[in-house]
A = this chain, B = another copy of it.
Amino acid sequence: MLRVLFVGDVYGKPGRRIFKNHLPTIRDQFDFVIVNGENSAGGFGINKESAKTLLDAGADCITLGNHTWDNREVYELLQTNHILRPFNYPLGTPGHGMHTFEVKGERITVINAMGRVWLDPLDCPFTGTNTLLEREDLGSIFVDFHAEATSEKTAYGFFLDGRVAGVVGTHTHIPTADTRILPRGTGYQTDAGMTGVLNSVIGAAPDGPISKFVDKIPVRWSTAEGRAQLNGVVLHVHNNQCQHIERYQHTEEE
């Protein structure tokens, strides 16, 4: 049995701060740590420094999303095996979206997929995942499904139910309270939520987004300041089934 922690989109400096400070204090409770790092470089993409921060703090694997390409340093990072971008970018795209790790004598395969509702139309994540699952010796499979629509995310969860150990969504930056094991054994949560400032609008200081919605004139958004919160999901997986799943949430003290 592997104890896996998946941490949702780390957003900017406050996200890196809480991840760096808190993860080491709980790292020994987990056998494998995955973190979505698509907003770890100032909210936009990932760079060498933010990736190093996440890895040094104890992450074994970093997943990404629609912000993958925001920072040019990602091309070098994608040459490693443990930094993944959504697999369903077109054939020929730099990097890869799936990797199998050996942990404590078990195998765990991480897949990073991206949805298409209100996002760029990549290749079909449903059909594409079917193809990926034809490979052998994948061990227990965990999917970070980076998507917006709850219908697409939930449908994807049921589509994979019984065929992977876990499906947890990212991208909305708000954790969902539908954490459970689906009927055929797949651990599921629609969104892991974000790791960044609690009193923010998806990581940004509220005045920028409020102005966008009220005034309709573009303004620059800034990363929010204040207490950060780490949002994650714990899954106990074995033989490609989920034995236990629960939310993990830690907030900095005031």
Contact = CB atoms under 8 A, between A and B. Distances in A.
A174 B150 contact: yes
Interface stretch (A24-32, A215-223, A235-243): A215-223
Interface stretch (A12-20, A52-60, A97-105, A116-124): A116-124
Contacts of A151: 201-202, 209
A216 B89 contact: yes
Interface string A188-225: 00110100001111100010011011111110000000
A116 B124 contact: no
B127 A116 contact: no
A69 B218 CA distance: 7
Interface residues of A, number: 56
Given A93-B215, A150-B202, A182-B199, A249 B177 contact: yes
B214 A127 contact: yes
28 contacts: A91-B127, A92-B215, A121-B121, A121-B124, A123-B124, A124-B214, A126-B214, A127-B214, A150-B172, A150-B173, A150-B174, A151-B209, A154-B174, A154-B200, A154-B202, A155-B209, A155-B210, A158-B199, A158-B201, A159-B206, A159-B213, A174-B176, A174-B177, A174-B178, A175-B176, A176-B176, A177-B231, A180-B198
